[in-house]
Amino acid sequence: MQYYAHTLENKPQREWQLLEVHLRQVAEMTAKHARVFSASDWGYILGRLHDIGKYRQEFQDKLEKQSSRRVDHKGVGARLAWEYLGQPGKLVSYCIAGHHGGLPNYGHSQTDTSTSLMDLLQQAGVLPDHAPDPVSDISLPSLPFQPRSAFQLAFFTRMLFSALVDADFLDTERFMEPEKYAARNPGPALADLLQPLNAKLAGFSNEGRINLLRREILERCRENASLEPGLFTLTVPTGGGKTLASMAFALEHSQKYGHRRIIYVIPYTSIIEQNAQVFREIFPPDSIIEHHSNFDERSLPEEADQFGPGLRHRLACENWGAPVVVTTNVQFFESLYASKPSRCRKLHNLAGSVIILDEAQMLPVKYLNPCLRALEELAENYQASIVLCTATQPALRKRDDFKHGLDGVREIAPEPKRMHREFLRTRLKDAGRLDLEEVANLIRDKEQVLCVVNTRARAGNLFDLVQNEPGARHLSALMCPAHRSLELKKIREVLMDGAPCRVVSTQLVEAGVDVSFPEVIREMAGLDSMAQAAGRCNREGELDDLGKVTVFTPSEGLAPAFSQAAGSAHSTLRHYGHDPFAPDAVEYFFSETYWLQAQRLDEKQILDEFRAPAPKWAFRDVAKRFNLIENFMSPVIISFNEEAENLIERLRFAVAAGGTLRKLQHYIVQIYTHELAALDEAGAIEYVDGQYPVLIDKELYSAKQGLKVPREPKTPDGFVC
């Protein structure tokens, strides 16, 4: 009798996929995925066992449509692993049990009563006599590392799970959708990217003090690429060229040690497209994928070209199968603690990669310990190199007063203290408590000035006070990306012409936005945020004297989300007011920040779920708790210009909307769900095709300030997944 894994609609049984073929091919592919972290034997066994339950006659009857009842095929393999493969088999059991629905909890919890691993094992059917015996002649090899904690075992389980589910997805796709499978393109080899980057870097000017310092940083990064893989910091002042210097390090390092890809992780979506575009202009086609979630692109393939570049990009996003991946903190860290197969299948591709965390100071404090443990584990046991890249390096090294820190971290930039002195372009003044009218007066007194505040609402209120001044402009994430890009282009032109330019902005202008003002005003916040704002002042050292940065504390009070960091910044200014952005001052700020919040470094108790001595873990509970953005945000499409209006019209009649949605990403504003509900209640939006919200009340979108929303957001502007 023949046993099948998958059928084909309206095709005879002779064209169906044989179960033995599927088990063998998934085993081979899982072994290949796991080979990078020395677990190919584990992967092969996992692949052989994952669908062994399909030998049950009940499942074959369902395939042949002789039965319509639900038949579980996961429990058989999970139970065999649990009962016959010893203690290591418990890890395999989780992977098999979750390869469709997600990694389960060991048992029920107060927050999750769905099917647990124990439920599945107890309900599992029996492997029929006619099925091959998958366990009598196999035994699991020893672990590829000596575990010191249950967390490491759980992390290894997650990486095995990733290798399995990606292999299962790919083999099923290869059989059922061969054209889609053929559209997958791994892109050029990582080694082929070094020459075009070197050509780009060779074209940069060596004239001027700042450019010579950038060249020194670049050359030191290249020299240090020969260091053994592991944990690194790249501490470079704002404007020091860290984006391309870190990429040069990563490519040279990969050449020497055989890394497979580069993962470039960015905290803000407001700059991810900008950085991805920089790389696209340097590297050959199909080198870069840009993965973030302004829209959930469920409707693929594309309208115009069913198997074109858009589909290839989307397929690469599923498992990060590209030489360079540009993504967000949210995508990266939430995937590391996810349970669903769709979120986890990319994880095995982190092994053997160089992972660059741009603006590393943005790691969220209340998830800091789980984030650091995951980075540490990737470097220690999965052949990854991690680069923490920032102008204000957080105090993440292990010390007597910070035992949660990382051990063995090496700096790849030249002498951070000297670089700070050489790059010194600003002086800071604390103006104390000011009300908004007083801040507005500071703006009015300057011909060219940038004022950065903490929230969208405060930016809007302050701009209302100065909008009639010559050159007054506004920037916030309540403006769609196309609108912001247009405003930034105009701001750069006005600054170059020496005309009046008074800009009120939220934090989105601070990271990766190349503008330079002679003066900057900043609402009190964390020292790292103030340093980023200072990086928009006298950026190229073009002034004869130091640029002036003024910080103020609003009389109206700080938003709660900023009060803790602002308190640490006040303390730092008292101790280091003469040079508050010096490396010693920055280390003091972050040390105090982490010390004051020591009980919050794992506020959701993520790691507690992986401390059990036996594998009794709660993967599903952890995935629910680990949310870097807790206030869910929704996109609203703005008919900003004629192109946006045409795309919205196309969306109304699209059979497959994926390509249109990608283009519309330039015309969306992210708002909180309660704000979306308020707009809906006011009749201000229309749901195109029943699911895509489009702003129809055009009076609610201003050419100066963007979208008018009901309430002030509760978290920093622009920080979305």
Please return the burial class of 608, using the count of CB atoms within 10 Å of its CB with bins 0-12, 13-18 and 19+.
exposed
Q: In whole angstroms, what is the distance from residue 133 CA to residue 26 CA? A: 18
Domain assignment present for residue 172? The answer is yes
- The verdict on 354 and 207 lying in the same domain is yes
Could you tell me if 348 and 214 lie in one domain?
Answer: yes
> Could you give the 3-state DSSP secondary structure of residue 702?
strand
Pick from 136, 160, 182: which residue ends a domain? 182
Report the alpha-carbon distance of residue 702 to residue 688 in Å, rounded.
Answer: 22
Q: Of 419, 441, 457, which residue is a domain's last?
A: 419
How many separate helices (H) and strands (E) can be counted in the chain?
Answer: 27, 21
Q: Strand 353-358 vs strand 17-18: parallel, antiparallel, or unpaired?
A: unpaired
370 upstream amide cis, omega within 30 of 0:
no
Task: Please indicate, yes or no, whether residues 334 and 207 belong to a single structural domain of this protein.
Answer: yes
Euclidean distance between CA atoms 721 and 719, whole angstroms: 7
Q: Are residues 299 and 430 in the same domain?
A: no
Both 642 and 520 in a single domain? no
Q: CB 683: neighbour CB atoms within 10 A?
A: 9
What is the mean pLDDT for each group of 10 consecutive residues in the chain (721 residues)? Answer: 90 93 97 97 96 91 81 91 91 96 88 84 85 81 92 97 97 94 90 94 85 94 98 91 95 97 86 80 90 47 48 79 92 95 96 94 88 97 95 77 86 93 93 97 97 94 96 94 92 96 92 87 95 92 93 94 91 92 89 74 92 86 88 87 94 77 87 91 92 94 89 42 33
Query: Is 649 a member of any domain?
Result: yes
Return the DSSP state at 105. Answer: B
* pLDDT (0 to 100) of residue 592: 82
The pLDDT, as a whole number, for residue 462 is 97
Residue 107 domain-assigned (yes or no): yes
Domain boundary (419, 454, 480) is at 419
Domain that holds residue 444: 424-596
Instruction: Confirm whether 615 is domain-assigned.
Output: no
Q: Are residues 455 and 564 in the same domain?
A: yes
Q: How far is CA 251 from the centre of its chain?
A: 20
Indicate whether 412 and 543 sit together in one domain: no
Task: Assess if residue 263 is contained within a domain.
Answer: yes
Q: Do 76 and 163 fall into the same domain?
A: yes
Q: Which amino acid is at 583?
A: P
Domain presence at residue 52: yes
Tokens of 297: 């692109």
Same-domain pairing of 82 and 147: yes
Same domain, yes or no: 143 and 266:
no
Residue 717 lies in a domain: no
Q: How far apart are CA 448 and CA 233, in angstroms?
A: 35
Count how many domains the chain has.
4
DSSP string covering 661-719, please?
Answer: HHHHGGGEEEEEHHHHHHHHHTT-EEEETTTEEEE--GGGEETTTEE--SS--SS-TT-
CATH number at residue 439: 3.40.50.300
Let me know whether 403 and 429 are in one domain.
Answer: no
User: Is residue 205, in this structure, part of any structural domain at all?
Assistant: yes
Contact present, 385 and 232 (Cβ < 8 Å): yes
CA distance 281 to 638: 28
Alpha helices for 3-113 (secondary structure H) = 19-35, 40-49, 57-63, 74-84, 89-97
Residues 164 and 232 in one domain: no
Q: Say how many Å lie between the first and final Cα of the chain, rounded.
A: 50
